[in-house]
Every structure is written in structure tokens, then in C-alpha cells.
Amino acid sequence: MIHARTVTTLFAPRWQHPDPEIRRQALARLDPTQPDHQQTLKALAQDTDPGIRLAALCALNDLAGLLAGYAQHSDESAWFEATAQRLSGERGQIELSERHHHLEQVADTRLLHAVAHAGDNLDLRLAALEKLQDEDDIIQQACHNGVVAVRHRAAERVASEQGLRRLLKESQRDRQVMRLARDRLNALKEDTEWEKNQHQKREDILHALEQQAKRPWEPLYSGRLRHLEREWQQVEKAPDATQEKRYHDALLACQKILHDHDAKERERLHQEQQQAEAEETREQLLEGLEESLEGLQQSEALNEQDIDSLRAQYRLFTQRWQTLADSYPSSDGLRLRHADAIKHYEQVINAWERWEAYAPLLEQALADNQTPSLRQHLNACRWPETLPSPALMQEAKAALATQAENRTPKHDQDALNAGSLETLNKELDNLESLLERGSFKSASRLHQRIKPSIDALEHASAKPLASRFKHLGARLAELRDWRGFVAGPKRLQLCESIEALADDQHMAETALDQHHRQLVKEWKSLGDAAANRELSTRFRSASDRIHERLKPWREQLAKERQINLAARIAMCEQLEALLEQPADDADPDVLREIRDKARQQWRHYSPFPVKMPSRSAAASVRCATGCRR
């Protein structure tokens, strides 16, 4: 009995025979141009025997299959030869475009060398050369390839100095390659020298820039820095990372020195500007006070309103002057003018305070017609001759002159008539001036004083004086009515305002004190116009309530002022001790810091007593001088 497998073997085609040698013989008789044979060859291309597969792929000219099989059999020379021959076009009649396409996928160096050496097309050889990346492989092609264009292209790709030297040594068959290698070596040497020079230039600039960063500021500092920056930008070769970091670090250090100097310069200019503005402000303050003092001398009669206005201006002047003195020193010329203005002011205030002390006595003596007391009180006032006297003082002097005139003998009366008329005419001028200024109280006293003298005139030449006196009397009555009409509602309004202020329990003490002072000032400015006991009692009662409420605050403020004064005196003593013991090695920056902090603390210790003891005032002057130094 014949086995089924034996039957199958006996009747199967020879290319399916189990014996590889029989299959190889059958393959040799197949014609790839015939469709049925082509299918058989494709089947044999999947055979288990590598040799049969290679023969089938070669018969089919299947380059893709050869490349796929070569990846598994790259160590077999038959596979390499068959693949290289068909890829380079030596055998197989495969289209050039197809071989270009498959060459792009090839990474094996042996195949690329084979195509570059034996390719049937220049572009194919150059494409294989482009895929070679190792410099040794490129040098081998430049020296031993049979095509000139390939050798030159390969020689152009050699970049290292060692590779160029090797190329110059081995490329004996191509003088152009040798010349190219020699020129490239020379250019490389020049590039190396150029890069060395460029590197050295940057190193020199960096050294100069780093030295510049260690120097203090001087007038040419900014110019040198700009010159070094321009030189750095003009160097053609880009710096390396280390040089770039060194450059930026040194540049930042130099810019910090410039920035610090600019900040100090701006601060100096700002201080000079502030000093100039402070000097201008002092000039304006002094001019205002001097003009006010000179204006007093131009007035016809000094009154309480003029003194109150002068005192208010002086308080503001003192506060602003002291604020400026705490921050900026004054010039010698302004200090002298300041001392003269203060002396003049004190003379005026002292004269007015003496006058206020004797004014009631003088008014009583004038009312009682007590000539000795009147003369005694006038002498006690010691009123300066350069200062216009108050209206009451002028009345007293005129009364003394009138009494002296009345005591003149009869035979001298005719000689005095002309003088009396002139004196009365001046008195009427003074009365008219008082009426124009609205000084009702002084005008009323002067009117009552000169009325007997006018009534006593009997001479015909005195009629114009009497007519003028009558006209001024009508104006005085009109002023009395007007003051009563205006002052009445004003007094009622002030009473209501100060009572509302006294009942306000939420207002801060500072604002309460300020509003209270303003209301009292307005009340006093009304004088005796529309005055009555009821409104005066209401106003005084509300004012006393505010005083009682502000009493603890004022005591606390006084304590705070004394504490600030003691702190300022202590600062003065510390600064004086520092100035009396100078150190040669003292750090100027530390001294400036001490000075600046002292100025800040000096301004911090405020408010302080305006009228300080002499020792405290002297200490303040010394401390301000020490802070400036």
C-alpha cells in the first residue's frame, strides 16, 4: 500500500519538492516574463531556504524584497552583492526612480559605499554620498571614487583639520582635491587665528570693563563705559556663554555705579532746589512781615484790630520759619533781616502791651478831666515816636493841649485862635478818617471830646468847622445805626454757633479749639456794636464750657510739647558730643546716615513750645547747625 504523502510527493511540481536542490533546479528553468512562472517565483521568494529566496528575488528583480532580506542576511556576501548590484544598476534593469526611492531608505554603509562607487547614474552616486555621515567614509569616497564629481563633492564635505590633512595625504590621484584640501586647511587656520584674535579682543574688553566696575565714579566714567560697549558690539565673533555672563555682570556693576551717582546727583539738585525754594519762601515771609510793620507806621491811629492782625501774621510767620529752619539752613543776610524784623515786632508788641495796661486808667482820667493823672499815664506808656499812637492816646494828647490853651492868658488868646482852628481842623480830619475806617468807638470818643471846643467857638471864621463837625456827627450817628443793624444778627449767629460747638461731643479737640478761636475772634471784632448783657452772657457761658472740655487736651498737649522739647535738647547734646570728638577714620556714609536720621527725628519731635527757655532755644540752634554739618 502506497502512503498518501508519497503519492503527493511523486505528483507535486518540482519547485515544491522537499529537496532544496531540486527546487533550485526548477527555479532556474522558470521564465519571469511568463505570468504563471512569475507567480511561481513569487511563491519561491517566500521559501524557507535563504538561497532559493535570494535567487527568486533576483529573478523577479524585486529590490524591495532584496533590501528586506538583506536586513536579515547582511553578513552574507551573496545577499550584499545581489542587493548592491541591483541598487546601483549593474544588474536587474530596475528603473532609476525606483532605485532612488529605495536608496532613501538605506542606512547600511556598505551598500551606500557600493552605490557611490558603482552606481550607473551620477545623481544616484551623489545621493548615496549624501547619506554617508562619517568623515572617514566621506574621505574614502573623496580619495578613491572613480567619478570626479563625486570626489569633489565628497572633498567639499570634509570640515575637520584632521580630515583635511588626511585628505591632502591620500588624494594623490586628484590634484583638484589636493588643492581644495590645502585651501581649506589654510582657511581653517586663518579662521582659527581669527577666532583666537576675536576671543582675545573680547577678553581685553572684559578685563577693562571689570576694572571699570571697580572704580568710583568720575566725570569720564559714562563716556568710558559707552566706549567699551561700542567695542564689545563691534567684535564680529559672538561671545561664548562664559564671556556673555562676565560681560553682563560687569555691565550691571558699572550701571549700578552710574545709577547710584545719578541718584545722588538728583538728590543734590533736589536739595539745592528745595534750599532755593525755602530761601524764596523765607524772603516772602520776611517781606510780608516787614510790609506789615511798615504799614503800621503809615496808619493814622493804631487800633486793636491792627495788633491782632499783626500777631496772627507773626504766629504764622514763626511756624513756617521754624519749619523751614528744621529742614534747610538760612543765609546770613536773611538771618540778619529776621533778627531786625523780630526786634521791630517785639518793640511794637511791648508798646501795645504797655498801652493796654494804661488805657483804662487813661480813659478814666480823660473822663474825669484829671490833667496830672492824664500826663502821668501818657508818660508811663513810653509810646515810640515812630509808631502812630492809638486814637485814645491822641485824644488824651489833644485834651492836654486844649487845657493848656484854656490856661493861656487873655492877651494871648488872639494869638492862639489861629493855632486852635488849625488844631481843631486836624482833629476833624482824624475824626473823618476814623469814620471812614469804621472805628466807631474811637470816633465816638473823639467826637465827644472836641464837641465842647467846637461849641465854644464864636468867631465867624469857625462856622465852616462847625458845619463840618455837624456833618461828621450825622455820619457818626449813621455808623452807630448801621453797626447796630449789622452786629445784632451777627452776635445772635455767633452765640448760636458757639453753643452748637459746645454741644458737639464728637468733634476732635484740635478742630474744636480751632473753631472756638475763630468764633472768639469774630466776637471781639464786633467791639461794642449791638452789645447787650444777655448775648454776652450766653457767649461767655458757651466759651467757658468749651474751655473746660479742652482743659485735659491742652494739658496733654503741653506735656507732649515738653517731652518733645526734652527729646530735642537730648538730640542736640548727642550731636554736640559727636562734633566735639571727630574721628579721622570715620565713614562719611555712616555720618551722613546719622545726620539724615537726626533730621527725621528732629521733625518727628513736634509740636514743641513756641516760647522756649533761653537754654533750650540755644540748644535748638546748635542742633540745627549740627544737622547741617
DSSP state letters, 214-233: HSPP-TTHHHHHHHHHHHHH
| Per-residue CA distances from 405 to 410, 412, 415, 420, 445 (Å) | 11, 9, 11, 8, 20
Question: Stretch 221-241: mean pLDDT, rounded?
Answer: 89
pLDDT tens-place string over residues 336-348: 888 988 998 898 8
pLDDT given at position 615:
43
- Residue 364 — pLDDT band, cuts 50, 70, 90? confident
When pLDDT is averaged across residues 91-118 and rounded to a whole number, the result is 81
Tell me how crowded residue 109 is: count the other CB atoms within 10 A of its CB.
14
pLDDT class of 333 with cuts at 50, 70, 90: confident
At 20, list the grid cell: 532544496
Residue 175 has pLDDT above 70, yes or no: yes
The pLDDT value recorded for residue 411 is: 43
Q: What is the distance between the alpha carbons of residues 582 and 574, in angstroms, rounded to a whole number?
A: 13
Q: How many residues can be counted in the chain? A: 629
- Whether 136 has a pLDDT exceeding 50, the answer reads yes
> How many alpha carbons fall within 13 Å on the CB side of residue 480?
12
pLDDT at 248 over 90: yes
- What does the pLDDT read at residue 207? 92
Q: Which three cell numbers stand for residue 39?
A: 507567480
Predicted confidence (pLDDT) at residue 192 exceeds the cutoff of 90: no
Hey, what's the cell of 375? 500826663
Q: What is the share, in percent, of the chain residues with pLDDT greater than 90?
A: 6
Model pLDDT, residue 620: 46
pTM score of the predicted model: 0.40
Q: Give me the residue label for grid cell 558730643.
A: 577
Q: Could you tell me which residue, 527 or 162, shows the higher pLDDT?
A: 162
Which of the four pLDDT bands, split at 50, 70 and 90, describes residue 629? Answer: very low
List the beta bridge partners of residue 390: 302
CB atoms within 10 A of CB 218: 9
**Phi–psi pair at 110, nearest 5 degrees:** -60, -45
Strand partners, 200: none
Helix 391-406 and helix 371-381: axis angle, to 10°?
140
Over 70: is that where the pLDDT of 518 sits? yes
Separation CA 561–CA 91 (nearest Å) = 116
Q: Please say if the pLDDT value at position 245 is more than 90.
A: yes
pLDDT at 61 over 80: no
Say which residue, 571 or 64, is predicted with more confidence: 571
Give the integer Cα–Cα distance in Å for 103 and 110.
Answer: 12
| Cβ-based burial of 390 (10 A; exposed 0-12, middle 13-18, buried ≥19) | buried
| Confidence band for 151, pLDDT divided at 50, 70 and 90 | confident
What percent of the chain lies above the pLDDT cut of 70? 78
313's CB contacts (< 8 A; 6+ apart) are: 288, 289, 292
Tens of pLDDT, residue by residue over 460-471, are 666 777 788 778
- Which whole number is the average pLDDT over 37-61? 63
Residue 3 has pLDDT above 70, yes or no: no
pLDDT digits over 98-109, tens only? 878 877 888 888
- Give per-residue pLDDT as tens, 424-472: 778 888 878 877 776 776 777 777 777 777 777 666 666 777 788 778 8
Residue 382 CB partners (closer than 8 Å, separation 6+): 351, 354
Place of cell 541598487: 87
Asked if pLDDT for residue 286 goes beyond 70, the answer is: yes
What are the backbone angles phi and psi of residue 361, rounded to the nearest 5°?
A: -65, -40
Amino acid at 343: K
Q: How confident is the model at residue 419 (pLDDT cuts 50, 70, 90)?
A: low
Owner of C-alpha cell 473822663: 367
What Cα–Cα distance (Å) separates residue 491 from each residue in 306, 478, 479, 531, 538?
22, 20, 17, 8, 10
Question: Tell me, what's the pLDDT at 121?
Answer: 84
Interior CA angle at 441 toward 388 and 467, to 5°?
Answer: 90
Question: Which residues lie across from 302 on neighbouring strands?
Answer: 390
- Confidence tier at 211 by pLDDT (50, 70, 90): very high
pLDDT tier for residue 626 given thresholds of 50, 70 and 90: very low
Pairwise CA distance, residues 365 & 263, whole Å: 72
The reported pLDDT for the residue numbered 513 is: 86
pLDDT for position 621: 43
Which grid cell sits at 63? Answer: 529590490
CA 11 from centroid of its chain's CA atoms: 106
Cβ atoms of residues 69 and 57 within 8 Å: yes
- Residue-level pLDDT at 249: 93
Average pLDDT score over residue span 577-604 = 75
Sequence-distant (6+) residues with CB within 8 A of 98 are 63
- Averaged pLDDT for residues 114-132: 84
Q: Are 125 and 115 a contacting pair, CB within 8 Å?
A: yes
The sign of the dihedral angle between the CA atoms of 158, 163, 169, 171 is negative
CB count within 10 Å of CB 244 equals 12
Q: What is the pLDDT of residues 302-314, one digit of tens each?
A: 888 888 888 888 8
Contact assessment for residue 435 and residue 457, using Cβ atoms and an 8 Å cutoff: no
Give DSSP secondary structure letters for 502-514: HH-SSS-HHHHHH
CA-wise closest residue to 383 among 428, 431, 392: 392
The pLDDT mean for the chain works out to: 77
- Computed on alpha carbons and rounded to an integer, the radius of gyration of the chain in Å comes to 60
